[in-house]
Amino acid sequence: MSSDLLTPENLSKDVLKSMYDAAYMETSFDDDGDLRVEEGGIRCFVMPSDDGDRIQLLSLFGADSNARREDLLEFANRVNAGIIIIRVSIRGNGGIAFDYDIPVRGGITKQAVVLATKRFLAIPIPAIRQYGSDLVQ
């Protein structure tokens, strides 16, 4: 099996970090040991599932303190309907989460994961501008 192929058997935070580092993306671990990747001023958490089946990308944003929950839900619905490759949800604390799952079962190239991550990181800011610039900080 090629070392350029990620599989459930070799997927780990350390492997992901070295892969992103090799792609010249900014990486770090937070205090909880979660991997963060940043590019173009946008940061996301990169979290391999426990069984290695998928990699979840997660970007968190704060909501405007004056935003009503109904407006935030409408924002999430508009983004989810308009940009189908990602998912937006409202968190219990009123924050907004953008996420995307990259499937790993059967193998995926490291290049494909890097490109999917770059694409994911390019989505939140234009989505916020288009669908809810007055709702998201």
Q: What is the pLDDT of residues 12-46, one digit of tens each?
A: 999 999 999 999 999 999 999 999 999 989 999 99
The mean pLDDT of 108-118, rounded to a whole number, is 97
pLDDT of 1 reads: 36
pLDDT of 81 reads: 96
Strand order in the sheet with 54-61: 26-29, 35-39, 42-48, 54-61, 96-103, 87-90
The overall average pLDDT reported for the chain is 94
Q: What is the pLDDT of residues 58-81, one digit of tens each?
A: 999 999 988 999 999 999 999 999
In the predicted structure, residue 137 carries a pLDDT above the cut 80: no
Which residues have CB under 8 Å from 57's CB, separation 6+? Answer: 44, 45, 46, 47, 99, 100, 101, 102, 116, 117, 120
For the entire predicted model, the pTM comes to: 0.93
**CB 29 within 8 Å of CB 20:** no
From CA 136, how far away is CA 61, in angstroms rounded?
A: 7
In the predicted structure, residue 57 carries a pLDDT above the cut 80: yes
Percent of the chain with pLDDT over 70: 98
Angle at CA 115, nearest 5°, toward 114 and 117? 65
The mean pLDDT of 102-121, rounded to a whole number, is 97
From CA 68, how far away is CA 58, in angstroms rounded?
A: 23
In the predicted structure, residue 94 carries a pLDDT above the cut 90: no
